[in-house]
A and B are shown apart, each in its own frame.
Chain A
Amino acid sequence: MFSFCADPSVLPDWQWMACYLTTGSHFALYRSVLVVLLLLALAAPLALGMGFLGALAVRSGNPLLKGIGTIYVSMVRGVPDIIFFLFVPFAIDQGVEYLRHKILCPDWDQPIRQGNDFIVCQAAKMPLATDPAWVHNVWGFALALIAFALVFGAFAANTLNGAMNAVPRTQIETAEAYGMTPGQSFRRVLLPQMWVYALPGLSNLWMILTKATPLLFLLGIQDVVFWARELGGQKTGHYAYTHPDWRVWYFLGVLAFYLTLTWVSQKIFDRIMARLNHGQATSGGEALRKAPA
């Protein structure tokens, strides 16, 4: 990176540090921070969408839809989320390969499960063995994203359903009295009002989501935890930059990163809540009204 980095073994302390922190693998660490943020940025809206569908299903008049929604929402309560993170990508991967195998290789006569092997034809592999590395990375990331959206969608469905129930019943009755159809009263009255009730739950959900992101490491994605382990381990003479076991310092850094992330999120949510409370007939709105200007 810097011009003076040619021979690290003779550098004084601070220059050594500057060179050390700008090696290629350290840039991979910094990029992995972006991977975490990207997952958060994609998983949050997806989970919210799943949650919205889930909440609608739970409230639906159709018994089948209601049953599916209820099972989906209650599924994640009794079971640790990490089981889903391990199970869902594994299952989807095999499911997709199974389907592709059925479509792409119809004349294959051997069974797919042979003992403990899961054998599909070469053309059905997902991604293909010939695909470049980035396809493998994107596929792995997409599987992780689906797992996150599924689990946090169920949490969000719970929150949104609660928020929809919390909107005062009289509001809906008034809408009906004005002759609105159920769809209209949902869109015009329920939907705009539910957010203030949903926000505490959703902000909490965001916090849980943030703190679940290191589990990406378990899914084989090179995230912050992966690089902290990789870079922190003892480096002996084979490496340009030798150092003893520094993993504890790297994890201290990761810890600081997550603490900052949750702290900043908390500040932002406090602001949004103050905004949403403005003029609402809730105790929060009342407190804002009474507060000295």
Chain B
Amino acid sequence: MSSCGESFSGLILRALGRDFGDRLLPRGLEINFCDQVFLIASGLIWNVYFAILALFFGFFLATAVALGKASPSRWLSRPADWFVFLFRGSPLFVQFFFVYEALVLLPRTGIEIGPITMDTQWMTRAWAGALFVLFLNTSAYTAEIFFGALKSIPKGDMEAADAYGLTGWSKFRRITFPTMLRLAWPSYTNEAIFLLHATTLVFFSAFPAWQQMGDALYYANYFAAQTFNPFVAYPLVGLYFIVLTLAVIGLFGAVNRRLNRHLPRAARARLRFRPQYIR
């Protein structure tokens, strides 16, 4: 048994590794409520890490794939279609397994590219491998959302752009892209929340939690198994996720207001969390 202060200093950064807190996780009867509160909170570091980086990189790939899908050239639209189908049509859980097993097969000694040898070991670790899967997955879902938005840009807007003599890059940057983003934003918010929730899958799939560095649900599961009591750890992690979800809604809501600020009040898109319409 340790005091709450000790729990806090020993566990709040434990998810980053042994060097950042207690070497061993609290076990069996020495587990108290504060341990559960702080260790599960420290696991959130990984959920936020995966969510932010995957969303950030995914945003750019998704824009590219959405444009590819909308392109008149079959050479661009077909691969984009396949990419979206592959990642939207299969479970993320299985994607994790597949990519992990594929990465494990890479030669342990590294890949030789000309004179340099590229190390491959780090790729099988969750922070890189799982991030890669989440990045591709969210890119596919977001690309579908962006593609839908691209298709529903009002015809008049594009005609107005033509009338002003905008073409190519400047037309895209000033008209197409902002309008697409504005139309897609409510759905994109849902996707962000879903991705945040999907990060809990990482340490339950193939990726091992090295040195017991895991995410919030990994620790909640650990506590539930250790104390044989699911009624503390799981509600706690649920509560944390409700708070994070509200934070995402607040953040994306602020962006949504900015994207819609030029419109008359009645025409502004309202942000509504409708989870079932996305995945």
Taking Cβ atoms with an 8 Å cutoff, the residues of A that contact B are: 76-83, 86-87, 90-91, 94, 113, 115-118, 155-156, 158-159, 162, 200-201, 204-205, 207-208, 210-215, 217-218, 225, 228-229, 232, 245, 247-248, 251-252, 254-255, 258-259, 262-263
Contact A90 to B94, CB < 8 A, known contacts A77-B245, A83-B217, A205-B276: no
**Bound: A232/B98 CA distance, A:** 12
Q: Which residues of B contact A113 (CB under 8 A)?
A: 229
Which residues of A are found within 8 Å of B105, using beta-carbon distances? 245, 248
Q: Is the CB of B98 within 8 A of A204?
A: no
Cβ of B110 < 8 Å from any Cβ of A? no
Contact A158 B234, beta carbon cutoff 8 Å: no
7 closest pairs, A vs B, by CB? Answer: A80-B197, A78-B242, A248-B101, A251-B98, A87-B234, A211-B91, A90-B230
Residue of A nearest to B234 (CB): A87
Residues in chain B near residue A79, CB distance under 8 A:
197, 238, 241-242, 245
Within 8 Å by CB of A116, from B29, B90, B95, B197, lies B29
How does the 8 Å CB contact mask read for B95-113 relative to A, with 1 for contact and 0 for none? 1011001101100000000
CB contacts (< 8 Å) of A213 on chain B: these are 91
Q: Does B61 contact A (CB under 8 A)?
A: no
Q: Give the size of the chain B interface in residues (CB under 8 angstroms).
A: 50
Selected A-B contacts with CB under 8 Å, 27 pairs: A76-B275, A77-B245, A77-B273, A77-B275, A78-B245, A78-B246, A79-B241, A79-B245, A80-B241, A82-B200, A82-B201, A82-B217, A83-B220, A86-B221, A86-B224, A115-B28, A116-B228, A116-B229, A207-B279, A212-B91, A225-B97, A228-B97, A232-B101, A245-B101, A255-B95, A259-B86, A262-B88
Report the separation of the CA atoms of residues A207 and B88 in the bound assembly, to the nearest whole angstrom.
9
Known contacts A78-B246, A155-B275, A211-B91; is A247 also within 8 Å of B101 by CB?
Answer: yes
Cβ–Cβ < 8 Å partners of B98 in chain A: 248, 251-252, 254-255
Given A83-B217, A86-B234, A247-B101, CB of A225 within 8 Å of CB of B94: yes
Provide the bound-state CA to CA distance between A203 and B227, in Å: 40
A83 contacts B94, CB within 8 Å? no
Verify A258–B90 contact, CB threshold 8 A: yes
Measured between beta carbons, the chain A residues less than 8 angstroms from B227 are: 116
With a cutoff of 8 Å between Cβ atoms, the chain A residues found around residue B261 in the complex are: none
User: How many angstroms from the CA of A196 to the CA of B94 in the assembled complex?
Assistant: 32
With a cutoff of 8 Å between Cβ atoms, the chain B residues found around residue A211 in the complex are 90-93, 279
Residues of B contacting A90 in the complex (Cβ-Cβ under 8 angstroms)? 224, 230, 234
Among B89, B224, B237, B276, the residue within 8 A (CB) of A262 is B89
Asked if residues A115 and B29 are in contact (CB atoms below 8 Å), the reply is yes
Q: In the complex, which residues of chain B have a beta carbon less than 8 angstroms from the beta carbon of A207?
A: 279
Closest to B201 in A: A82
Q: A87-B234, A247-B101 are in contact. Are A204 and B221 (CB under 8 A)?
A: no
- State whether the Cβ of B151 lies closer than 8 Å to any Cβ in chain A: no
B residues within 8 Å of A by Cβ?
28-29, 31, 85-86, 88-95, 97-98, 101-102, 104-105, 196-198, 200-201, 204, 217, 220-221, 224, 226-231, 234-235, 237-238, 241-242, 245-246, 273-279
In addition to A81-B197, A229-B97, 17 A-B residue pairs with Cβ atoms within 8 Å of each other are A77-B275, A78-B238, A82-B201, A86-B217, A113-B229, A116-B228, A118-B228, A211-B279, A217-B93, A232-B101, A248-B105, A251-B98, A252-B98, A255-B94, A255-B95, A262-B89, A262-B90
CA distance A91 to B278 in the complex (A): 29
- A209 shortest CB reach to chain B, Å: 10
Residue pair A254, B224 in contact (C-beta under 8 Å): no
Residue of B nearest to A119 (CB): B228
In the complex the two chains form, is B276's CB within 8 Å of A204's CB? yes
Q: State in angstroms the CA–CA spacing of A81 and B227 once bound together.
A: 22
Q: Which residue of B lies closest to A76 (CB)?
A: B275
Whether B97 pairs with A259 at a CB distance below 8 angstroms is no
> Complex formed: what's the CA distance from A218 to B28 in Å?
22
Give the A-B pair count, Cβ closer than 8 A: 137
Minimal beta-carbon separation of B44 from chain A (angstroms): 12
Chain B residues with Cβ below 8 Å from A255 are: 90, 94-95, 98
- When the two chains form their complex, are residues B28 and A116 in contact, meaning their CB atoms are under 8 A apart? yes
Which B residues touch A80, using CB under 8 A? 196-198, 200, 217, 241
CB proximity of B182 to chain A, nearest CB, Å: 22
Complexed CA–CA distance, A251 and B97 (Å)? 7
In the assembled complex, the CB of A110 is this many whole angstroms from the nearest CB of chain B, namely: 16
A266, closest chain B residue (CB): B89
Q: Are A159 and B89 in contact (CB under 8 A)?
A: no
- Are B241 and A201 in touch, CB under 8 angstroms? no
Partner of B241, one of A78, A210, A232, A252: A78
Give complex CA distance A213, B276 in Å. Answer: 16
A-side contacts of B198, CB under 8 Å: 80
List residues of chain A with CB within 8 A of the CB of B28.
115-116
Find the B residue at minimum CB distance from A82. Answer: B200
Taking the nearest CB of chain A, how far is it from the CB of B190, in angstroms? 10
Which A residue sits closest to B245, measured CB to CB? A78
Chain A residue, CB-CB nearest to B248:
A78
CB-contact partner of B94 in A82, A115, A214, A232, under 8 A: A214
Query: Given the complex of chains A and B, what is the CA–CA distance between A205 and B274 in angstroms?
Result: 12
Q: Which residues of A contact B29 (CB under 8 A)?
A: 115-116
